[in-house]
Structure 1
Amino acid sequence: MTTTKKPESLSFEQSMQELETLVSMMEQGDLPLEDALQSFERGITLARHSQQKLKDAEQKVQILTTQNGQQSLDVFESDN
């Protein structure tokens, strides 16, 4: 296991980095079954934590972009 920090104490980026590391280790197929199961469990926990962080960020953006109950976003036009 790469780290034992609680997912709640990790930033989104830290969670994703650890998840990528776990997936890479598991894809190699060299882990004993017990370690693979522990890695899988940790990965599920990290994925759920990351999904919640994204959901929270999305809600915050919606709140910040809504004025008087209506969306106030403009169309984005790229310079390219």
Structure 2
Amino acid sequence: MQLLKEFKVDFEKKLSRLEEIVQRMEKGDSSLEDSLKLFEEGIKLSRECQSQLTKAEAQVKKLIAIDDSGKATTEPFHGEDSES
């Protein structure tokens, strides 16, 4: 449960920062150099968020898998951050 909480906090921080970057860039009052730095940071955050979502999706798929007999199956999820 702690891992899920950490995932949520980390993801929400990244998403919030990404939203800030978008707002600043939409204003259009940053220099070219600052805009490029913001863009680079935004791309990095976007990729990290997408990666986290992909991992979460894989975990959900494992948790709700259906076996050949039609029964729901579960198996432990061993992601990069799991402690096993």
TM-score (norm 2): 0.68
Structure 1's consecutive aligned runs of 4 or more residues displaced over 2 angstroms after TM superposition are: 67-72
Identity %: 40
2:51 & 2:10 partners in 1: Cα distance? 11
Please, which moves more after superposition, 28-37 or 61-70?
A: 61-70
Name structure 2 gaps, 5 residues minimum: 1-8, 73-84
Q: Once the two structures are superposed, what CA deviation does each residue of 1:46-80 show, in whole Å capped at 9, x if it has no partner?
A: 000000000000000000111436673xxxxxxxx
Cross-structure match for 2:45: 46
2:59 & 2:15 partners in 1: Cα distance? 20
RMSD across aligned C-alpha pairs, in angstroms? 1.9
Report the number of matched residues: 63
3-state DSSP of counterpart to 2:30: coil
3-state DSSP of counterpart to 2:55: helix
3-state DSSP of counterpart to 2:29: coil
TM-score (norm 1): 0.71
Identify the structure with bigger relative contact order (alpha carbons < 8 Å, sequence gap 6+).
1
3-state DSSP of counterpart to 2:56: helix
